[in-house]
Structure 1
Amino acid sequence: MTTTNKNIENIIETNMMGYASYVLLDRCLPSIEDGMKPVHRRILYSMYLQKAFNLTKSANVAGQIMAIHPHGSTYSTMVGMVQKDRHSIPLLVGKGNFGMYTSRDLMPAADRYSEVKLSDIAIDMMKNFDKNVVDFVDNYDGTIKIPEVLPVKFPAVLVYAPSGIGVGFSSSILPFNLAELCDGITNYLRTGEKTILVPDFATGGYIVKDEAVFQRINEEGFGTVRIRGKAEIVGNKILIKEIPYSTTREAIIDKVVALNKSKKLQEVTNIKDLTGLRGMCISITARKNTNMDELLEKLYKFTPLESTVSANMNMLVDGLPKVLGVWQTIDRWLVWRRESISRGLTYDIQKMTDKLHVLRGLEKVLVNIDKAIDVIRHSPEESIDFNLQAEFGIDEFQAKEVSNMKLRNINESYITKKIKDIDQLEQTIELYKEILKDESKLNELVIKGLEETKESFSVDRRSEIIELTQVKPVKLVEEVQDYNVTLHLTKEGYAYKFKGDQEPMLKPGDKVIKVFETTNKAEVLIFGSDRVAHKVEVKDIDDTRVTSLGTYLPNMIRDKKIDIVSYSVLDKKHKILVAVYSNNRIAKINLEAYEGSRKILKNSYCLKQDLVDLITLQEDTKLKIVTDKSKLTVHTKDFNLTNGRNATGVYASPARILKKVEVA
């Protein structure tokens, strides 16, 4: 036994380099030729060998793939190849629940519950294996030959958006529309003109036009595309039908909910995911009188409804990672595609040459068929081929073809029909040889393949390109102008907001029951006889003109028929609400108990006692109390401050009935 001493640093470096190389070259990066990462290629070829042209259990397929892919179950990869919102033209067709690319939480069913088969375009990608158009290599244990790449007729690397992360490298290739890609390459081969190709995503949405970004992606393979979801406004609802490729429905919903809870998007009252068999739909309901266009802009600006997708077009070129622009990719792919076509033509030429050689032998036999029959009849079995060669001047291959013919076919009529193909074969062979020497003719065959692919498999563009010329600037919470105001609040529910010291012009029969010195950013609490308090923001109350009757508050709350018993105010200087009850109890409540995002507060004062008054204070002070027997003065500092809105309070005097309380 031999022992070798090595430094641990060298062992780690050597092993890490080997691992990194393996991951990059055999796991995470797609090949420029067929646009596939090894796992996708192995899935397709394994299903091709299994003849998975009809639906079969996904578990069966995944198990068979293990023969050529040793890295565990490939089912999660198969799921992505089935999803219609991930690829505009999926490589696999599935039956059952395969989840959704646009959903974070909707998981696919287990492989034993779903079925899968090759799509038509995947089958088309694997034609002509028998013509030696691509090389075959050993699988991981040398038991099966598998294709090094698939013989695709279009640059699939630019259609299927492969992405991956390796050691020190990453790849993110954007998808393009198949029809536009085929048309662009066809035009390029015929005119030399390179058009600007714009990505097209299976999720649809709007791509914001940016010529500089599109140009950079086409030329360098880098760039960030801005995508907006597609939404429509119906009344006070926004219905989102398509979302950006880089996000999920749950991410959008979670962000809207978070902004709403933090009071930054207060226009929204409800959001639901209504996605179903009829397609995607996120419904967002807004408050009445909301500017819906402005709300939609807020959703674009502050939620993933507008997102970005970055291109880093890193792929394997000649076996090494390389970042290429769209047209660099097309140029390199065209070199490979012409080579693939040439290999197929070379194979066909050889087959036709072999056939022509046989026919020339039959042509010589036709001169004397009877002699050929006589030779075969009277020669020993082992000498038949030799005697035919000697008699007709043909070689061994031609002699074997004659001797193996059925007796019924050794006749002038049959042989004459066969040798009629000689001229056609000679012309075809010469034509193919000319094509092999002429790049322009090879290009026409490339174009033919592109046109066939476009005709059979292309779909309409899903991502609409839009121009944003004027975008209205929006803020999550509008800046509220703050200034001191005096609020006069009446029994019938009118509010008068003045910047100075003015007296309101009241409606006949109405009277002011509360006056507050506060600010425009405060909130008014409106207490009803049902113990429910409603909040109204002071900023939403119009500044009152001298001749105005003020703002009618019931129109600003849900309960239009509220029986108002009192008011209070939430601002920075008012701290205490004193609830006075007829049973001689007084509750000293912290006004912070009424703060928060809720606009309706039940149990806003004690349910079991009859209310006399609610007094709002900035700090502790003396109160004058009138009872059924006497008048006395108390100080609020003698009462404990509570955070319970419906607190019963403590007795304020020995009298039985408390009739009136006012600040001393």
Structure 2
Amino acid sequence: MSMELFSGKVLPIEISDELKKSFIDYSMSVIVSRALPDVRDGLKPVHRRILYAMNELGMTPNKGYSKSARLVGDCMGKYHPHGDSSIYDASVRMAQNFSSRYPLIDGHGNFGSIDGDSAAAMRYTEMKMAPLATYMLADIDKDTVNFSPNYDEREKEPDVLPAKFPNLLVNGSSGIAVGMATNIPPHNLGEVIDGVVYLMDSEDNEDGAPRPGIRDLMKFIKGPDFPTGAQIMGTEGIISAYTTGRGSIKVRAKANIEKIEKNGKMQIVVTEIPYVVNKSRLIEKIAELVQEKKIEGITDLRDETTMKGIRIVIELRRDVTPQVILNQLYKHTQMEDSFGINMLALVDNTPKVLNLQEILEYFIKHQKEVIVRRSRFELKKAEDEAHIVEGLRKALDYIDEVIEIIRSSKDDDIAKAKLILRFDFSDRQAQAIMDMRLKRLTGLEREKLDAQYQRLMDEIAYLTAVLNSDKMVRGIIKTELKEIRDKFADPRRSEITFDATKMEIEDLIADEDVVITVTHRGYIKRLPLNTYHSQRRGGRGVNGMSTGENDFVESLFIASTHHHILFFTSRGKVYRLRAHEIPEASRTAKGTAIVNLLSLAQDEKVTATIAVKEFKDQFNLLTATKNGIVKKTSLQDYDTKRSDGLIALTLDENDELIGVRLTKQDDDVVIATRLGLAIRFSEEDVRAMGRTARGVRGISLRKDDYVIAMDVVDKTASDLELLTVTENGFAKRSELSEFRIQGRGGKGIIGHRVTSKTGPLAAVKVVTADQELMVITDEGIVIRQEVSGISVQGRSAQGVTAMRTGESKVVAVAKFVSKEEE
């Protein structure tokens, strides 16, 4: 129980009730008076008090630096009784050019570093207001904002600053309150001002004209602009944050791959890092990953950062692909970091999550109030001054009589009373006449008074017009904003990878055919189709890629850069990438490790791939396994953006996926085995199943035999043939009519006679004569030739030499492309 003194009585109350009340009071104090910024000036109370204290102390840009301790003491003693360290830390951050996009304090001395070094003690450092900060306090002495008593009611402090620019967006804010937090990224000053001007211009539109939306504003405000630069990956998170007030963006370090002239080795040079990332810790993390052999191929790591900018140099071994190492660094270190946006600010002392347009509109509303209050202040001042000048002019008209009244009066009060009685002056006019110096009696002074009076009347007319015209108020705000933009705006530092306000990323990628290869050890690459030229039957091919020891190409296929590539894995899962997201490499390059592109689990490998243009429900996805199991599922079931993949099918133990094909509901299916057997059955024999189902028997296998290929037959097409290729380079075409339709699950018939000379069957494809054949060996040799160059033989023939493979060049994969598709 607790005791409370109330009206002279001691009343017992429940401690739980007292705790609730006290905690709510504390929470509101933290929310309103400490952790959250005001939407109007973008400042928390400590930052507002620091700037106001600097202004009161005369620590302005046109004066010399003053000791930081002087500011901290004055601010703490008058406005912010929360400890000197909190005030000094806040002022230091306002001076750091890597923390604030546009620092409001000009610091002199050691103010810390991006490596996490702390600032020197306040007795050593000096500071003053930065030039931009003067616009935060401009006209504060003209009754533009409300003032409230300070904590001990001996001083007054502003409730908000006039803030001539949208500081909440320009410098951002972060803070943790009770039960809520804010995290607003900084933005480019020029872009934000352009957005505000555009929003105000829209108020001049005719009635009924649509108001601008978020997408319209994003034509000007592209996205956050961090003081440390770096790259913002995509705009999905930006659009979400600007629309709802919440979102998440990925920020990547800016890195270049350079060649070292003296030894020919490659190096990665990092010149910009994500916002609030500690550079020294980043370097330590990279070194740690190298020591633990989680990243292999780095031979040297140096920090060559100077006053000119960041420069982290990562030297690489000759045998590694720089892009692979760079992708690993993005994955395992803060070279790629997420920035969670939560645009929470105080609106009328109430926390509110705001979208981009709301923040700008609250700023405009605040500026209108500031301009109106300033105009009222200046109007009153001008009217008061005009009133005095009017009295002086009248006095000069009767100067001899005025002088006589003053000379004949016993004292000042009597003289003033006589003047008021005789000329109907106000008390202030009479006092001004009494205080007038004799030099004001000259003719030149009379002309000055007349000119001054006319100027004041013009000013009064102008200010009156301003107060009666919202359009004029908007014009003043726009003029002042443009002045700030012209003085302080600078180029954007953070690069946004593509502009989604105008187009999707595919619109920036040429729609062209490419060859994609996947190796046994999990390397993938993309290269232009025209890399490989057509050759005659029996050609030796060209070196397609360097696979390294114990590696060979398992899959080679043609796709458009706009296609989705589905990757099916040994664990029965499916992952998705756009073809253009696969790094392009040279013809002989090894490629990029798939683990750097997909979130594969340990020991999980890609076993089948397929290119898909759209996920339409009129298509099915047919899968076949090594043990002869087939499954049909609607293509739409595989439409997902999940980075951790989807379950694609359930695999038996010691089974694996060997092929995936699209079907149109009424196709035929051809399955071929390593020993040259083939079966053809109707797709309708395979009922549609769920994505996670096991499937049904497609072919019954003999001992030591397994499925090596599966393809589909479009029954509406004509002149279709079945092309078979063996491991030793023998190939033939056979009429599809030779392969009668059987029931699903049969043993099949001979599709290609395999011998020790031909080697086992390697690939099967339903083709037409106008297509082309691409064959690749386990040593990376690729040959491209016309299908029409392969002879037509019976299904039980052994074929002719399509590629001279030699003793060790066994064909691993054969895929095909239509001439019409190129």
TM-score, normalisation: structure 1: 0.69
Confirm or deny: 8 A CA contact 2:59 2:66 kept in the other structure.
yes
Deviations 1:537-593 (CA, angstroms, capped at 9, x unpaired): xxx9xxxxxxxxxxxxxxxxxxxxxxxxxxxxxxxxxxxxxxxxxxxxxxxxxxxxx
| Number of aligned residues | 480
1:434 lines up with 2:461 in the alignment: no
Following superposition of structure 1 onto structure 2, how do residues 265-284 of structure 1 map, counting pairs within 5 Å? 265-284=295-314
Match of 1:218?
Answer: 242
Following superposition of structure 1 onto structure 2, how do residues 546-585 of structure 1 map, counting pairs within 5 Å? none
Deviations 1:71-130 (CA, angstroms, capped at 9, x unpaired): 001111111111111112101111221112x323x2222222221111111123212122
Deviations 1:424-469 (CA, angstroms, capped at 9, x unpaired): 3223212211211211111001101111111122222111121376
Q: In structure 2, list runs of 5 or more residues that go unmatched.
A: 1-7, 204-211, 260-265, 499-504, 510-514, 524-548, 552-589, 591-822
Q: 1:264, CA displacement in angstroms?
A: 2.1
In 1: Cα distance, 2:451 partner to 2:89 partner:
55
In 2: Cα distance, 1:361 partner to 1:297 partner:
80
Confirm or deny: 8 A CA contact 1:204 1:463 kept in the other structure.
yes
Q: 1:478, CA displacement in angstroms?
A: 6.4
In 2: Cα distance, 1:473 partner to 1:120 partner:
56
The amino acid of 2:229's aligned partner reads G
1:335 lines up with 2:348 in the alignment: no
Confirm or deny: 8 A CA contact 2:268 2:315 kept in the other structure.
yes
Which of the numbers 76, 90, 101 marks the counterpart of 1:88?
A: 101
The amino acid of 1:91's aligned partner reads L
Which of the numbers 112, 133, 136 marks the counterpart of 1:122?
A: 133
Q: Alpha carbons of 1:473 and 1:256: their partners in 2 closer, same or farther (altered >3 Å)?
A: farther
Deviations 1:241-293 (CA, angstroms, capped at 9, x unpaired): 10011422134223322322332211112222222323212111111232112
Match of 2:89?
Answer: 76
In 1: Cα distance, 2:516 partner to 2:72 partner:
52
Following superposition of structure 1 onto structure 2, how do residues 190-201 of structure 1 map, counting pairs within 5 Å? 190-191=201-202, 193=212, 194-196=216-218, 197=221, 198-201=223-226
Match of 2:50?
Answer: 43
Confirm or deny: 8 A CA contact 1:314 1:323 kept in the other structure.
yes
Query: Equivalent residue of 1:315, what SS?
Result: strand
Match of 2:329?
Answer: 299
Q: 1:390, CA displacement in angstroms?
A: 2.0
Q: Alpha carbons of 1:224 and 1:364: their partners in 2 closer, same or farther (altered >3 Å)?
A: same
In 2: Cα distance, 1:247 partner to 1:396 partner:
66
Q: 1:237, CA displacement in angstroms?
A: 1.5
Match of 1:202?
Answer: 227
In 1: Cα distance, 2:164 partner to 2:420 partner:
45
Match of 1:230?
Answer: 254
Match of 1:11?
Answer: 18
In 2: Cα distance, 1:77 partner to 1:155 partner:
20
The amino acid of 2:488's aligned partner reads F
Q: Alpha carbons of 1:253 and 1:441: their partners in 2 closer, same or farther (altered >3 Å)?
A: same
Which of the numbers 450, 475, 483 marks the counterpart of 1:444?
A: 475
Which of the numbers 395, 400, 406 marks the counterpart of 2:426?
A: 395
Q: 1:399, CA displacement in angstroms?
A: 0.9
The amino acid of 2:100's aligned partner reads H
Match of 2:453?
Answer: 422
Query: Equivalent residue of 1:271, what SS?
Result: strand
In 1: Cα distance, 2:372 partner to 2:460 partner:
13
The amino acid of 1:55's aligned partner reads Y
1:61 lines up with 2:92 in the alignment: no
Which of the numbers 112, 115, 121 marks the counterpart of 1:103?
A: 115
Query: Equivalent residue of 2:186, what SS?
Result: coil
Q: Alpha carbons of 1:257 and 1:343: their partners in 2 closer, same or farther (altered >3 Å)?
A: same
Query: Equivalent residue of 1:285, what SS?
Result: strand
In 1: Cα distance, 2:288 partner to 2:364 partner:
50
The amino acid of 2:253's aligned partner reads G
Confirm or deny: 8 A CA contact 1:298 1:474 kept in the other structure.
no
Match of 1:582?
Answer: none
Following superposition of structure 1 onto structure 2, how do residues 503-582 of structure 1 map, counting pairs within 5 Å? none
Q: Alpha carbons of 1:420 and 1:55: their partners in 2 closer, same or farther (altered >3 Å)?
A: closer
Which of the numbers 385, 390, 405 marks the counterpart of 2:416?
A: 385
Query: Equivalent residue of 1:5, what SS?
Result: strand
The amino acid of 1:65's aligned partner reads C
Q: 1:2, CA displacement in angstroms?
A: 4.2
Match of 2:404?
Answer: 374
Q: Alpha carbons of 1:407 and 1:206: their partners in 2 closer, same or farther (altered >3 Å)?
A: same
Confirm or deny: 8 A CA contact 2:99 2:276 kept in the other structure.
no
The amino acid of 1:219's aligned partner reads T
Deviations 1:349-406 (CA, angstroms, capped at 9, x unpaired): 1011111111221232232211111111111222111111122222221111111101
Q: 1:155, CA displacement in angstroms?
A: 1.1
The amino acid of 1:399's aligned partner reads A
Query: Equivalent residue of 1:66, what SS?
Result: helix
Match of 1:171?
Answer: 182
Following superposition of structure 1 onto structure 2, how do residues 583-662 of structure 1 map, counting pairs within 5 Å? none
The amino acid of 1:180's aligned partner reads E
Match of 1:533?
Answer: none
The amino acid of 1:195's aligned partner reads L
Confirm or deny: 8 A CA contact 1:139 1:145 kept in the other structure.
yes
Confirm or deny: 8 A CA contact 1:33 1:155 kept in the other structure.
yes
Query: Equivalent residue of 1:204, what SS?
Result: coil
Query: Equivalent residue of 2:123, what SS?
Result: helix
Q: Alpha carbons of 1:478 and 1:323: their partners in 2 closer, same or farther (altered >3 Å)?
A: farther
Q: Alpha carbons of 1:155 and 1:278: their partners in 2 closer, same or farther (altered >3 Å)?
A: closer
Query: Equivalent residue of 1:377, what SS?
Result: helix
In 2: Cα distance, 1:427 partner to 1:96 partner:
49
Confirm or deny: 8 A CA contact 1:362 1:419 kept in the other structure.
no
Cα RMSD over matched residues? 2.5
In 1: Cα distance, 2:360 partner to 2:424 partner:
52
Q: 1:152, CA displacement in angstroms?
A: 1.1
* Structure with the larger RCO, 1 or 2 (CA within 8 Å, 6+ apart): 1
Runs of 4+ that moved beyond 6 A: 472-475
Q: 1:47, CA displacement in angstroms?
A: 1.3
1:27 lines up with 2:34 in the alignment: yes
The amino acid of 1:275's aligned partner reads T
The amino acid of 2:15's aligned partner reads I
The amino acid of 2:73's aligned partner reads G
Greater share of helix: 1
Query: Equivalent residue of 1:231, what SS?
Result: strand
Q: 1:201, CA displacement in angstroms?
A: 0.4
The amino acid of 1:204's aligned partner reads G
Match of 2:291?
Answer: 261
Query: Equivalent residue of 2:269, what SS?
Result: strand
Query: Equivalent residue of 1:200, what SS?
Result: coil
1:135 lines up with 2:146 in the alignment: yes
Q: Alpha carbons of 1:125 and 1:346: their partners in 2 closer, same or farther (altered >3 Å)?
A: same
Match of 2:392?
Answer: 362
Confirm or deny: 8 A CA contact 1:206 1:227 kept in the other structure.
yes
302-311 or 406-415, which moves further after superposition? 406-415
Query: Equivalent residue of 1:226, what SS?
Result: strand
Deviations 1:583-639 (CA, angstroms, capped at 9, x unpaired): xxxxxxxxxxxxxxxxxxxxxxxxxxxxxxxxxxxxxxxxxxxxxxxxxxxxxxxxx
Query: Equivalent residue of 1:112, what SS?
Result: coil
Q: 1:55, CA displacement in angstroms?
A: 1.2
Deviations 1:224-248 (CA, angstroms, capped at 9, x unpaired): 1221111122222111110011422
TM-score, normalisation: structure 2: 0.56
The amino acid of 1:13's aligned partner reads K
Q: 1:498, CA displacement in angstroms?
A: 10
Q: Alpha carbons of 1:302 and 1:362: their partners in 2 closer, same or farther (altered >3 Å)?
A: same
